[in-house]
Amino acid sequence: MRGLRRRDLDLTEGVVRVRQAVTWTKGQVHVGAPKTAAGVRDVSIPPHPIPYLAKYVAALPVTGRDGFLFRGGDGVSLMSEKALRYAYGKARKVIGREDLTFHDMRHSAASLAGMTGAPTAELKAMMGHAAAGMVERYQHATRASRSRLAENMSKLAEL
């Protein structure tokens, strides 16, 4: 997320283009390609947050297409890990879910996408995974999905 630039967000098409990632190596921050070829991908944005993203982008300082979407305190440089954790901590508090980790959002996204009935190939592409096993690691059954499964089994029994 910290590696995203303005050019990576296409709100007209509703797509985030993941082309780079931020990593730490020996105490140094690096902006470069994702870990695997599968990590380079286009991710569709659900329509409901697009107006909020548009408002956010409109309020950004003008830094051109190469400007980071999530900037450091100077408004230009890469957002620090500390700043990201601080902002996420505030957001968790607002929604009353201080138990959630930042990485939990990937689990939620994978589980919600899976609940739509998306096949494994689509989930792999969305999540940037090369192996189907990784998709399974991020998906979780919910009470609603278990209930839907039971209801669908009853419908089959009626046939």
Domain that holds residue 90: 1-97
Question: From first to last of its 159 residues, what are the pLDDT tens digits of the chain?
Answer: 889 999 999 999 999 999 998 888 887 888 889 988 999 999 999 999 999 999 999 998 878 889 999 988 888 888 988 999 999 999 999 999 999 999 899 888 888 888 888 888 998 888 888 888 888 777 777 777 778 778 888 888 887
Residues 13, 81, single domain; the answer is yes
| Inter-residue contact 76 to 63 (CB < 8 Å) | yes
Boundary of a domain, candidates 58, 80, 97: 97
Residues 89, 109, single domain; the answer is no
Q: What are phi and psi of 42, to 5 degrees?
A: -110, 130
Residues 68, 129, single domain; the answer is no
Residues 115, 142: Cα–Cα separation, whole Å: 9
Residues 10, 62, single domain; the answer is yes
pTM score of the predicted model: 0.76
Angle at 42 between CA 122 and CA 130, to 5 degrees: 50
Residues 91, 18, single domain; the answer is yes
